[in-house]
Amino acid sequence: MARIGRVFRLAFVLALTLSAAEAAAQERRVEITDFGLYAAGPMTHSPAPEQLSGQQWTAPNIRLLEQTDVIPGQLGRIFGFRFRVNDRSLYGKTLRLRILHPRLSSHIGRSGTETGRADVPTAASPERGYFFAFEYTWEIAEGDWTFQVVHEGRVLAEKKFRVIVSMY
């Protein structure tokens, strides 16, 4: 009888463990596939009034140079992450991409602690990238920078970076 009780308890614990694993898998609705420092082809700029700089950039051939979460604060540096949407229920939905960072004051008189906010639809091709480039000296701020993928107010994925400004 005691042996049957132990087997029952073991089965119960195993079922709980599998349920926890399934829940964890569902929580990874969005998965970060790589992160760090990137290089890109020539940048194209377009107006973006919601951005601190008043513009946004796109570039072809964005490629990972180094996987790291420590970023040298230097002009021309590009950092961020690529992510994949694993949850098919998010296909066709809009995801908000945002970057939280130390306070910046732009050359056009704007200031804030959030930049790079963009709303993007997901598609059947679920992998995307989200990057930031230090194009102006006012953008280089030492401290924690957090890149997030958000849906309906819930953070689905995030990556924290530490920007370091050298005194040399």
CATH code of the domain occupying 29-164? 2.60.40.2390
Q: What is the pTM of this model?
A: 0.77
Q: SS3 sequence, 43-59?
A: CEEEECCCCCCCEEEEC
pLDDT at 60: 86
Tens digits of residue pLDDT in 83-116? 999 998 998 899 999 999 998 877 666 667 776 6
* Residue 143: C-alpha distances to residues 79, 89, 93, 109, 132 (Å): 14, 35, 32, 22, 15
- Rounded-to-integer distance, Cα 97 and Cα 30, Å: 12
Tens digits of residue pLDDT in 29-76? 999 999 999 999 899 988 887 777 778 888 988 999 999 999 999 999
Secondary structure of residue 142 in the 3-state scheme: coil
Q: What is the DSSP string of 85-110?
A: E--GGGTTSEEEEEEEEEEEE-TTS-
**Ranges of each domain in the chain:** 29-164
pLDDT at 97: 92
pLDDT at 25: 45
The CA dihedral of 66, 71, 75, 79, to the nearest 10 degrees, is: 60
- Rounded-to-integer distance, Cα 98 and Cα 117, Å: 4
Question: Which pairs with CB-CB distance under 8 Å and at least 24 residues apart come from 11-18?
Answer: none
Tens digits of residue pLDDT in 131-165? 999 998 989 999 999 999 999 999 999 999 999 99
Locate tokens 């949850």: which residue?
A: 87
